[in-house]
Amino acid sequence: MKLSSVKPGSWYGFLTILLLLTVVAALRIGAVDLSFDDIGHIVSNGLGWSGATVDPVSKGLFLQIRLPRVLLCATVGAGLSVSGVLMQALFRNPIVEPGLVGTCSGAALGAALVFVLGKNINWAFTDALGLFLLPCVAFTFAFVATLIVYKIASLSGKVNVATMILAGIAINALATGGTGFLSYIARDPQARSITFWNLGTFSGADWTQFAVVFPITLGGILLSLRFTKALNVLILGEDEVRHLGYSINRLKIQVLLLNTLLVAIGTAMVGVIAFVGLVVPHLLRLSKTSDNRFLVIASALLGGSLLTMADTVARRLVAPAEFPIGVVTAFVGSPIFIWLLVRNARSFQKGGFYA
């Protein structure tokens, strides 16, 4: 049976089960494994369903470290994947990734600035931000970089997608150059922090980060569903979108803002994680359909699963140390992606979004 003939409801069910299994496995596996009995006792004890005695070390490990990390991982994966769907639909190009408009490189530049300057940053709000200094600066730089790209693309009075791509390339190069310069002048620990952050890490995940990222990402994903109909029509051309009563400029601005929000909030907290936003929509598009409503929902589920799997591998392979998660996503996702590309080579010859 061909995957494309499977109904969307069955896809959602399968991907939901996959996400749940991935989360459960990630909660159990790590530098220190927790048995299902331990997890069951900790959860039931925490909910007041049983008075069973639980090991305080295991309880602290599960509730304060592993659970928020796994939930944050699934949330960021979902957000990055949905942002990939939005950007590929907006640019009508399946090789576009969320960071194309400078969002990720801008965040990386902001983070590098904090790593190198540290407490020497003489900003009035530095002390007030405390541990949130890094994510706040990264988010600000991500937003500013995207805003510059948008302003350049809209100089003619309307948002020109081709100009946006070229401006994004230029801003990405500029921000990458700035990050490279900061890495060059940084001391060894600072340079290592910059490198690790540029490849993504969930090692600092906690409940506070999850409480910030989850509602914003969930809201962004739900809001994305409002634009799926217009984005589906956009494949046919901008005139067709106007005939349906949409303002093409407003649509571009709204989708771009939504993408920036989804990418920047995750990147600001855990660093740059490439590949997920590019590959997940591809996998689903090649396997099922280019309907953006399906892609948004399915990408959120598959993206959460994929990033959770990658994080589990990253902290298990060289335990108690861990790989940067970006290394794992590249090693795992690339072969799968290449296999799908080869399998669908004939479809590519038809051009377009290989629907």
Which residues does 157 contact at the CB level (< 8 Å), separation at least 6?
none
Continuous H helices in 186-247: 188-198, 207-224, 228-234, 238-243
Which residue type occupies 109? L
Quote the CA–CA distance of 131 and 6 in Å, as a whole number: 47
Asked whether the beta carbons of 263 and 103 are under 8 A apart, the reply is yes
Element (H, E) at 13: helix 8-28
For residue range 270-314, list pLDDT tens digits in order: 888 878 888 898 888 888 788 899 999 999 999 999 999 999 988
pTM recorded for the entire structure: 0.86
For the domain covering 8-345, report its CATH number: 1.10.3470.10
The residue ranges of every structural domain in the chain are: 8-345
Q: Where do we find the tokens 């290592």? A: 192
For residue range 155-208, list pLDDT tens digits in order: 877 777 778 888 888 988 898 888 888 888 888 777 888 887 788 888 888 898
